[in-house]
Structure 1
């Protein structure tokens, strides 16, 4: 190093993992090899499958301190040890073994995207991707052009440019709905973490912490499927950063298996044709104006015959990634008459980037015909873009409004609102398709099921598996 020049230290984000020390790995392996019995005894203190996580250093310059750790008290211990460039400081417990990899990030009013902060360090890619799910900022939707090529063989992009390209690919690896679900799950875990372990690092998550989080979720009455989705989000972060995944723990696997075994049977009931008649009849009496009646009638029938989830036809504050738009609606004519509606879903649950076209056909009974109901609704509106189902004011129908109207109709029909919900349209439509001899393959396509999950939606009347007490 030339005189007068100071070696620059690298700023590390508060949610970034510090680089592992090179000299501590061999010592850790030797200690584990020579002290097998003590390792088993202290298994909660030394992760046996990741010796390279046992010693770390964090080098922060003043700018990094100002930007990233002004609100993170739990990184203070890491700052105090930054003068140990070899990373050979011995650790004594599990909290010292685990680096402050993803401590709660400092959230300010800066609206710059995560992509802009990516530099030459490849770790910035993964850390910024994770930060986008841990922060309170809106999840960015990154668009990129496809098919662009260059014939300039001498073109050499910078490392920062390559890292930005990697970030774009990584950010689009998850569907928007999946990313929103992961973000919600990580926020739930952070609430648990700040309540029970306020002075510990947010990540990695220990087996003990994850087991306790599962128990908290169970006490809150969350379904097994919801808890499993929370686990997927936590596991995603660990695998992304190369950390020991607590989901691989035998204890965690048994807890999830126990939840699955003791999960209550799905008590939601399917709507039948007779019940659909009754619901539409009381709907006309309960709704105050004719436009809302025509609107809700079309939504009820489309949900029933198209096996739609409520979040696919109504707006939710949790996200509108899967909602149907007006431009996604097309018509199939038989001579001069509309015979079938085709509703295209650009995104849906477990879509994995694929689109789906849902056919909704004309029915002989005009009172239960979704095509007639939709044409009647479209005659009352003039919009050609935006959300398909809107109020007269132009605002989209929300999931809460949809559920409130349906609950009033169900109650007026002397049905149990805890068993007849918005999902009863989907269950009832699948059951009706089976009763009408539709093939299993076509039922799966109609309901957008890629697995055997469709089986629990089929409730044929000849097999009364779900009876009222």
Structure 2
């Protein structure tokens, strides 16, 4: 006899009972019975996905359930006909074809989680054709959006002067330190900020204890331990090395000056004077506000502008591509988009380091 188990979305799947062989114990050396092992399976399967992927998949699966409810369709097992209808429904709602493909990955994951066979979505020929058609139609009607611009060394000089003009304001020291850490560390803005004030997780976000120096008396190098990142799903960790530059744009000076004001209290690294942590959205808004006050159109600058700017500046100053790839921790050749296509347009600006 088989037994019915409810899946994550309320569907049922029939499993064959697995009975122990005569005389065999249902518990192993771990002390777990079959029920305990099944719970362990679900636990590890759930944690096979990064938290950000889990959120994306949950959203995609909820949208699929809404579609199934609207059109009275049985959600699982997945069928090519229904999937073709689903992706067309998404496209009519102006969902980009790249997002549609990620939604399909979420549905594959859902079906497997509910103990149905792998749907082998990539082998559905009509679905593949529909997705290709969506991509082509969206390309024809796409309006080109302005590309993000890099933060250049010239911008950094202006930003330094802007924050220095505020005197000994603690928040200015913090923001300038965050800017230098992000730029000279080739960091994604999400790596040195947190998503929201309530989302701080000391196991993954930057903390005070993640910063070290090579010499207490005369620090020349600051090391920032990045515990988790986009290209480090297994959290092996990586050290971001910031060296003293002996010029006004010095990440070591910026970070140590901020830490002298911050003190050694534990918790998130970048804190406002009132104790609130630096979120990604607030970091971007503060940088844009500063750029606007400096007479720069800030609409085309975002958190990733620092990483783009660092790669572009490195290329303009003659660093080799393998070194740039290592500094930015790129696993693919994506960095070449910055140091090749953008270099021709921005090298003249970046290579100019105006006096502060």
**TM-score tier after normalising by the smaller chain length:** 0.7 to 0.9
The match for 1:391 among 263, 272, 285 is: 272
Q: Residues 283-432 of structure 1 correspond to what in structure 2 (within 5 A)?
A: 283-284=163-164, 290-317=169-196, 322-333=204-215, 336-353=217-234, 354-365=236-247, 367-432=248-313
Q: Is the 8 A contact 2:244 2:250 kept in 1?
A: yes
C-alpha change, 1:375 and 1:252, in structure 2 (3 Å) is farther
1:192-221: CA deviation from partner (whole Å, max 9, x where unpaired): x27x8263334437232332254156x26x
Displacement after TM superposition at 1:155 (Å): 6.8
The match for 1:244 among 107, 119, 126 is: 119
C-alpha change, 1:403 and 1:8, in structure 2 (3 Å) is closer
CA distance in 1, matches of 2:347, 2:87: 32
1:286-330: CA deviation from partner (whole Å, max 9, x where unpaired): x69701110111111111111222211122139556532222222
Q: Is the 8 A contact 1:271 1:424 kept in 2?
A: yes
**1:258 aligned to 2:136?**
yes
1:218-257: CA deviation from partner (whole Å, max 9, x where unpaired): x26x6x6555544432333245542524454322441465
CA distance in 1, matches of 2:42, 2:283: 38
Q: Is the 8 A contact 2:5 2:12 kept in 1?
A: no
Displacement after TM superposition at 1:187 (Å): 4.0
In structure 1, what is the equivalent of residue 162 of structure 2? 282
The match for 1:15 among 3, 10, 13 is: 10
C-alpha change, 1:9 and 1:373, in structure 2 (3 Å) is closer
CA distance in 1, matches of 2:118, 2:342: 50
1:104-156: CA deviation from partner (whole Å, max 9, x where unpaired): xxxxxxxxxxxxxxxx889xxxxxxxxxxxxxxxxxxxxxxxxxxxxx98777
Q: Residues 38-49 of structure 1 correspond to what in structure 2 (within 5 A)?
A: none
The match for 2:72 among 184, 199, 210 is: 199
CA distance in 2, matches of 1:432, 1:250: 41
C-alpha change, 1:259 and 1:273, in structure 2 (3 Å) is farther
C-alpha change, 1:402 and 1:155, in structure 2 (3 Å) is closer
CA distance in 1, matches of 2:253, 2:137: 45
**1:215 aligned to 2:209?**
no
In structure 1, what is the equivalent of residue 353 of structure 2? none
CA distance in 2, matches of 1:11, 1:184: 23
CA distance in 1, matches of 2:72, 2:347: 48
Which shifted more, 444-453 or 458-467?
A: 458-467
Q: Is the 8 A contact 1:239 1:245 kept in 2?
A: no
C-alpha change, 1:266 and 1:260, in structure 2 (3 Å) is farther
Displacement after TM superposition at 1:344 (Å): 1.7
**1:270 aligned to 2:150?**
yes
C-alpha change, 1:417 and 1:19, in structure 2 (3 Å) is same
CA distance in 2, matches of 1:463, 1:155: 61
In structure 1, what is the equivalent of residue 107 of structure 2? 234
Displacement after TM superposition at 1:464 (Å): 2.5
C-alpha change, 1:448 and 1:394, in structure 2 (3 Å) is same
The number of equivalent residue pairs is: 326
SS of 1:463's equivalent in the other structure is helix
Q: Is the 8 A contact 1:246 1:252 kept in 2?
A: no
C-alpha change, 1:288 and 1:410, in structure 2 (3 Å) is same
1:412-463: CA deviation from partner (whole Å, max 9, x where unpaired): 2333323222211110011122223333233223222211222223257752
Q: Which runs of 5+ in 2 are unaligned?
A: 20-26, 349-356
CA distance in 2, matches of 1:177, 1:297: 28
TM-score by length of 1: 0.60
Q: Which has the larger radius of gyration?
A: 1
Q: Is the 8 A contact 1:301 1:369 kept in 2?
A: yes
Q: Is the 8 A contact 2:316 2:343 kept in 1?
A: no
C-alpha change, 1:251 and 1:211, in structure 2 (3 Å) is farther
Displacement after TM superposition at 1:348 (Å): 1.0
SS of 1:357's equivalent in the other structure is strand
